[in-house]
Amino acid sequence: MNLTYRFADTADVALIREIAEKTWFETYVPILGKEQPQYMFDLIYSIEGLTEQLKDGQVFILQLLAGDTGQQIPVAFASYSIKDISLKIYKLNKIYLNPDYQGGGLGKKLLAQVENEVKRIGGVWLDLNVNRFNKARFFYEKMGFEIIAEEDIPIGNYFMNDYVMRKKL
């Protein structure tokens, strides 16, 4: 399996949105129903929303898989940002893998790529939020993250009911 990674920029926001759309509703509709995931997707993954996130300092990494003819197929993305520079805490804001490629270790490799990049720039801790009912929580625990808090974050008329998880890098 030939994987490559590259940092995304504003020219990649449509691609990021496309990957997110393939995973988002499959993940969140069973947990939250239809309305809240649609509201959140429209807010977070609009072209304007993604562009703003990039401008505000979120770093996006694209994971590309070499296809049969050598073309690079974008299969996943992750984003991270500084949470607390004095404590060297970074936050994994997003990690989404096209469901057609899940189960083969690509998510683990993308997470390792983010962790290595955060360590390279001086990070010691990596935090993330995960919905308390999202089965991805078990993936994060397997990858060494531990629950350190619960948060109920208002978003529009809804709440994100999350665990905050942390890993020492």
* pLDDT given for residue 163 in this prediction: 98
* pLDDT given for residue 100 in this prediction: 92
* pLDDT given for residue 17 in this prediction: 97
* pLDDT given for residue 156 in this prediction: 92
* pLDDT given for residue 16 in this prediction: 97
State pTM to two decimals: 0.94
* pLDDT values of the chain reduced to their tens digit, one per residue, 169 residues: 789 999 999 999 999 999 999 999 999 999 999 999 999 999 999 999 999 999 999 999 999 998 888 789 999 999 999 999 999 999 999 999 999 999 999 999 999 999 999 999 999 999 999 999 999 999 999 999 999 999 999 999 999 999 999 999 9
Q: Where do the domains of the chain lie? A: 3-168
Distance between CA atoms of residues 94 and 49, nearest Å: 14
Distance between CA atoms of residues 67 and 31, nearest Å: 33
Distance between CA atoms of residues 82 and 11, nearest Å: 23
Tokens in use for 128? 């993330």
Tokens in use for 3? 């994987």
Tokens in use for 45? 């993954």
Tokens in use for 84? 């607390």
DSSP state of 39: H
Tokens in use for 138? 């078990």
Which residue is listed with tokens 């590259």?
6
- How is domain 3-168 classified at the CATH fold level? Aminopeptidase (3.40.630)
Which residue is listed with tokens 């397997």?
142
